[in-house]
Amino acid sequence: MEIYPNIHNIVSENKTGQGITNAYLVTGTTGSVLIDTGWKSDEQSERIISYINKIDCTTLKYIIVTHRHPPHWGNSEFVKKQTDADIISTVIEAPYINDYFENYKVDIEIDDNLDIDLGNFQISVMKTPGHTSGTLAVFEKENKYLFPGDTIMEKGTSVINPEDGKIADYLKTIDNFIKIEPNVIFPGQGAPITETLEKLTSLIAHRSDREQEIINLLKQKEYSVDELFAQIYENLSEWLSHLAKNQITSHLIKLEDEGKVTKDQNMYKLIDF
Ligand SMILES: [Zn+2]
């Protein structure tokens, strides 16, 4: 549905209950772009194509995939086949996405900002590492609309798995988002965010509180990730526990990179600083 003038959200839901993901269609006067494509399913593929046909928008020029996680590239191949739009991602994410693809490859791998003229919209595709090392965001300059993929979600904070991305990069990306002062954030999941500064500063505060909590525990003694997890979290499901432990590991990697923590076997120790 059209959620802002010429901004449409074609929502997809994962049947296994892993969540709802947004796919944004931005309709310009000289061309349109699709930002992410949702969980892969015949239903969502058909939904996107019938939506594009129904609203009779200008030619779909690009399918912009924000990052490697499945609910974002999900139906890209189907949409490409039907529309012949070029698939855009970053040089870092493209190999991961290409691995999943059966018939196509990412057409345009960006290693720097890419400006796209859609007539009434001037958009910029920007590298915004953190959630994954090659995540990108789309920024519409005149209205200051930001499409950050999973870097920002309507509720809570996004997951940073140590094998995917880094908290230090994520914090720099959020800082850069604060500098560009978006009017509206269209997150990878959930509804548009208009209290953008409040949201962005709360994301930084959340990570810094968690880091301080870990440092305070390490001031007492050495800890493993599992022990830190037991101190910080309670009553989480198995899946959420797995994600929470990954967040702790990502924080510890940041502290190690900064020379504040050392690791011996699986135990982490605070260095005096
Ligand atoms: Zn993701």
Centroid of ligand 1 to alpha carbon of 191 (angstroms): 16
Measured between alpha carbons, how far is 207 from 167 in angstroms, rounded to an integer? 8
Instruction: Give the model's pLDDT for residue 20.
Output: 85
The closest alpha carbon to 130, from 94, 172, 92, belongs to 172
Least trusted range by pLDDT, from 10-14, 56-60, 69-73, 150-154: 10-14
Instruction: Give the model's pLDDT for residue 272.
Output: 78
Centroid of ligand 1 to alpha carbon of 233 (angstroms): 22
Centroid of ligand 1 to alpha carbon of 131 (angstroms): 7
Centroid of ligand 1 to alpha carbon of 238 (angstroms): 19
> What DSSP line would sit under 135-192, residue for residue?
-EEEEETTTTEEE-GGGS-SSS-----TTT--HHHHHHHHHHHHHH--SEE--SSSS-
- Structural domains in the chain, CATH included, are 2-194 (3.60.15.10), 210-270 (1.10.10.10)
Measured between alpha carbons, how far is 217 from 257 in angstroms, rounded to an integer? 19
Centroid of ligand 1 to alpha carbon of 201 (angstroms): 20
Helices (H) and strands (E) in the chain — how many of each?
Answer: 8, 16
pLDDT in tens, 171-224: 999 999 999 999 999 999 999 999 999 999 999 999 999 999 999 999 999 999
Instruction: Give the model's pLDDT for residue 14.
Output: 77
Angle at 32 between CA 27 and CA 35, to 5 degrees: 95
109: which 2 tokens?
């791998």
Question: 218, 270 in Cβ contact below 8 A?
Answer: yes
Backbone φ, ψ for residue 193 (5° rounding): -110, 125
Centroid of ligand 1 to alpha carbon of 21 (angstroms): 10
Centroid of ligand 1 to alpha carbon of 160 (angstroms): 8
pLDDT in tens, 237-257: 998 999 999 999 999 999 999
pLDDT-based confidence at 17, cuts 50/70/90? low
Question: 153, 188 in Cβ contact below 8 A?
Answer: yes
Centroid of ligand 1 to alpha carbon of 244 (angstroms): 15
pLDDT at residue 16 greater than cutoff 70: no
pLDDT in tens, 74-92: 999 999 999 999 999 999 9
